[in-house]
């Protein structure tokens, strides 16, 4: 197990943001959410405000959502259009969609001030099957490397499916507490007993390929599930259904507060099926919320200082903890040997 200090307190959160969340591919939405020139999506990634914008040529570009004058925001968080370019919300400096400073409006005479030195700070933007990711690390490996194992196991290109629903939940736990819960099926029989009518829970298996953790269980005949769940390092779940999919983004809002954003893409004519599925999804989330908040409360007390992971069920959790330790420059946590 990782040291419990990593699951609580501002310092742990800051370290995660700097060393993990701002150096990895972060899902921000679907291309269809910004179809026209000037359409933008402004979000907060690893605590850093960012904006992704479609330029006049139809390509997506990304920047930190911070003005070079005195750190004002270029746009409010959320979606919008700025086809004329960005105008800072504070004193009105104007930037082109490629990030160049066009005008430091009414700045006055300022010898030595060269506007060319005050362009926006760029970030990386890449897409896969219409899904838009950003990375604040300009030297990061391409997104394609990260998603390759998922592409191999999820052959259907469902990128034409519309975004039909977006739901948000807040959980009072550290983001890693939630991720670890997501990465094991050990808790399913106890926490989600209803799940057994959809898939054969006893045959639930977890596997790590590259930086993707897969879970699989044989779906029963009437199940809406495709039987594949993926998770991309470090904080994105991918749920594949027979007639759609859902991206589950896990955002650290505070040391003990996590926001879940669920993006559902589904065949729009299957309304009743979708309604059922959403109901079930809400139920599962509520059940996970309860256990994760109970775990977090205990992690913050200090009596529990670390336990053991099941080599049979918790390989995904072990991999995640090793990966976190590596990103933070810590030794890999000790673990029990697997028994074949
Ligand atoms: S902070 Fe942007 S114009 Fe002043
Ligand atoms: Fe769960």
| Predicted local distance difference test score (pLDDT) of residue 198 | 84
| Predicted local distance difference test score (pLDDT) of residue 60 | 98
CATH number, position 240: 3.90.380.10
Please identify, among 109, 135, 161, the residue that sits at the C-terminal boundary of a domain.
135
Q: Concatenated DSSP letters for 231-282?
A: EETTTEEEEEETTEEEEEEEEEEETTEEEEEEEEEE-TT-HHHHHHHHHHHH
For residue 18, the 8-state DSSP code is I
Ligand 1, residue 105: give the atom nearest the CA: 3
Q: Are 65 and 42 spatial neighbours (Cβ–Cβ below 8 Å)?
A: yes
| Predicted local distance difference test score (pLDDT) of residue 223 | 80
Which ligand is in closest contact with the Cα of 89?
1
| Predicted local distance difference test score (pLDDT) of residue 339 | 57
Q: Is the C-beta atom of 105 inside 6 A of ligand 1?
A: no
Q: Is the C-beta atom of 69 inside 6 A of ligand 1?
A: yes
Expressed as residue numbers, the domain containing 32 is 26-135
Closest C-alpha residue for ligand 1 atom 3: 91
Q: Do the domain assignments include residue 239?
A: yes
Q: Is the C-beta atom of 88 inside 6 A of ligand 1?
A: yes
Q: Do the domain assignments include residue 188?
A: yes
160 and 119 inside one domain: no
Query: Measured in angstroms, how far is the CA atom of residue 90 from the centroid of ligand 1?
Result: 5
109 and 42 inside one domain: yes
| Predicted local distance difference test score (pLDDT) of residue 199 | 86
Ligand 1, residue 92: give the atom nearest the CA: 3
How does pLDDT run across 238-291, given as a tens digit for each residue?
Answer: 999 989 999 999 999 999 999 999 999 999 999 999 999 999 999 999 999 999
Q: Concatenated DSSP letters for 190-213?
A: HH-GGGGGTB-GGG-EEEEETTEE
pLDDT in tens, the chain (340 residues): 899 999 999 999 999 999 999 999 999 999 999 999 999 999 999 999 999 999 999 999 999 999 999 999 999 999 999 999 999 999 999 999 999 999 999 999 999 999 999 999 999 999 999 999 999 999 999 999 999 999 999 878 788 999 999 999 999 999 999 999 999 999 999 999 998 888 888 999 999 999 999 998 888 887 877 767 999 999 999 999 989 999 999 999 999 999 999 999 999 999 999 999 999 999 999 999 999 999 999 999 989 998 999 999 999 999 999 999 999 999 999 887 665 5
285 and 151 inside one domain: yes
How many domains does the chain divide into?
2
113 and 160 inside one domain: no
Please identify, among 80, 109, 135, the residue that sits at the C-terminal boundary of a domain.
135
Q: Is the C-beta atom of 89 inside 6 A of ligand 1?
A: no
CA dist 98 to 35, 55, 57, 61, 336, Å?
17, 7, 11, 7, 52
For residue 319, the 8-state DSSP code is H
Q: Is the C-beta atom of 120 inside 6 A of ligand 1?
A: no
- Neighbouring C-alpha atoms within 13 Å toward the C-beta of 9: 11
CA angle 121, 122, 123 (to 5 degrees): 125
38 and 80 inside one domain: yes
CATH number, position 38: 2.102.10.10
131 and 255 inside one domain: no
Q: Is the C-beta atom of 153 inside 6 A of ligand 1?
A: no
126 and 54 inside one domain: yes
Q: How do 131-135 and 205-209 pair as beta strands?
A: unpaired
For residue 20, the 8-state DSSP code is I
Q: Are 241 and 266 spatial neighbours (Cβ–Cβ below 8 Å)?
A: yes
Please identify, among 135, 164, 182, the residue that sits at the C-terminal boundary of a domain.
135
Q: Do the domain assignments include residue 317?
A: yes
Query: Measured in angstroms, how far is the CA atom of residue 187 from the centroid of ligand 2?
Result: 7
Cβ-proximal residues to 98 (8 Å cutoff; 6+ apart), any chain: 55, 61
150 and 202 inside one domain: yes
Q: Do the domain assignments include residue 11?
A: no
Q: Is the C-beta atom of 23 inside 6 A of ligand 1?
A: no
157 and 295 inside one domain: yes
């Amino acid at each position: 197990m990782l040291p419990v200090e990593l699951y609580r307190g501002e310092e742990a959160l800051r370290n995660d943001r700097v060393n993990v969340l701002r150096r990895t591919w972060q899902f921000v939405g679907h291309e269809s959410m910004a179809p026209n020139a000037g359409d933008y999506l402004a979000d907060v990634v690893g605590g850093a405000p960012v904006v992704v914008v479609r330029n006049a040529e139809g390509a997506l570009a990304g920047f930190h959502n911070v003005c070079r004058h005195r750190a004002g925001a270029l746009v409010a968080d959320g979606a919008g259009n700025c086809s004329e370019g960005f105008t800072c919300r504070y004193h009105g400096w104007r930037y082109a969609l490629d990030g160049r400073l066009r005008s430091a409006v009414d700045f006055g005479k300022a010898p030595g001030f060269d506007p060319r030195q005050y362009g926006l700070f760029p970030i990386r933007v890449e897409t896969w099957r219409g899904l838009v990711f950003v990375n604040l690390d300009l030297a990061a490996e391409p997104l394609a490397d990260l998603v390759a194992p998922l592409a191999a196991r999820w052959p259907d290109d469902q990128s034409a499916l519309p975004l039909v629903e977006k739901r948000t939940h807040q959980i009072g736990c550290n983001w890693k507490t939630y991720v670890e819960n997501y990465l094991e099926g050990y808790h399913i029989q106890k926490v989600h007993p209803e799940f057994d009518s959809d898939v054969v829970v006893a045959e639930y298996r977890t596997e790590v390929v590259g930086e993707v953790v897969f879970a699989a269980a044989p779906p029963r005949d009437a199940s809406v599930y495709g039987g594949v769940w993926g998770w991309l390092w470090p904080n994105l779940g991918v749920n594949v259904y027979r007639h759609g999919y859902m991206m589950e983004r896990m955002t650290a809002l505070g040391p003990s507060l996590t926001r879940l954003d669920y993006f559902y893409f589904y065949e729009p004519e299957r309304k009743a099926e979708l309604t059922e599925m959403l109901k079930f999804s809400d139920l599962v989330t509520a059940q996970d919320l309860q256990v994760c908040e109970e775990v977090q409360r205990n992690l913050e007390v200090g009596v529990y200082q670390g336990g053991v992971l099941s080599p049979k069920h918790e390989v995904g959790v072990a991999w995640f903890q090793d990966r976190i330790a590596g990103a933070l420059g810590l030794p890999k946590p000790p673990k029990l040997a697997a028994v074949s």
